[in-house]
Amino acid sequence: MSDPDPSALVACRNLRFGYGERRILDGVSFDVPRGKVTALMGASGGGKTTVLRLIGGQLRAQSGELRFDGQDIGTLDAAGMYAMRRRMGMLFQFGALFTDMTVFDNVAFPLREHTSLPEALVRDIVLMKLNAVGLRGARDLMPGEVSGGMARRIALARAIALDPELIMYDEPFAGLDPISLGTSAQLIRQLNDTLGITSVVVSHDLDETFRIADQVIILANGRVAAQGTPEQVRASTDPLVQQFVQARPEGPVHFHYPGPSVDQDFGAGLSA
């Protein structure tokens, strides 16, 4: 098991995690370099969101080591975990905005929750973050009054409110029209470079994700199937990786979830 790269913000070594007898991660190791965009990809159920939850401390690995800026996440107490999470931002699927709060109050929420800043300064920070995502003029709207693409951008403004070192994106492109998708992808790349942060993007959108990512990690069967630049991953000869990047319906990933045979469930007559 190789030592973590000292330049990595997040380092995973031999991570194992499962639900009951179902193994989700079975010896996963990789590094997330500082200042880069790392994409976590793979078939549904491959453990991508689980990795985000492990990094954020919502879940604890059953074995292995997971470090954030050199700190072993698995050994942190509640106070240590709380302090670590202040250094992270999270963009949930579909934004997860508070529906009974205005756009302004949604973005202000982490500032009011985690700091004692005066309200005048909170106002200035919120407007700056909204301006960064192009939505300063939408400050007084309610979440129900904005489009899906705008909701993601508002959620992104909230995620960067505390100037985190790491932002994690869980399916940031799901359900977006092509214009909103392209805008969101470009924004992730621009904010990463402008703010000097580190980004981890979980996505199934191959083209847009490959376009903005510095590193791509393909998870499959509980392990890392491929890792490298988008060009290196596309050139992989691994059949499973090729099935994923070429969107082939047939390959190592089967349509049917493993289970009893048709004969066992329905009797030999049905398959005759």
Spatial distance between the Cα atoms of 263 and 271, rounded to a whole number of angstroms: 7
Range of the domain at 78: 8-229
Between 218 and 221, whose confidence is greater?
Answer: 218
pLDDT tens by residue, 100-154? 999 999 999 989 988 899 999 999 999 999 998 888 999 999 998 988 888 888 9
Spatial distance between the Cα atoms of 266 and 173, rounded to a whole number of angstroms: 40
What is the domain-level CATH number for residue 125?
3.40.50.300
| 65 belongs to a structural domain | yes
| 248 belongs to a structural domain | no
Number of folded domains that form the chain:
1
| 262 belongs to a structural domain | no
| 259 belongs to a structural domain | no
Residue 222 in tokens: 């509980």
pTM equals 0.82
Mean predicted confidence (pLDDT) in 2-10: 72
| 84 belongs to a structural domain | yes
| 272 belongs to a structural domain | no
* DSSP helix/strand/coil, 30: strand
| 28 belongs to a structural domain | yes
Would you give the DSSP letter of residue 234?
Answer: H
Q: What residues have CB less than 8 Å from 252, skipping those under 6 apart? A: 220, 239, 240, 243
Mean predicted confidence (pLDDT) in 41-52: 84
| 256 belongs to a structural domain | no
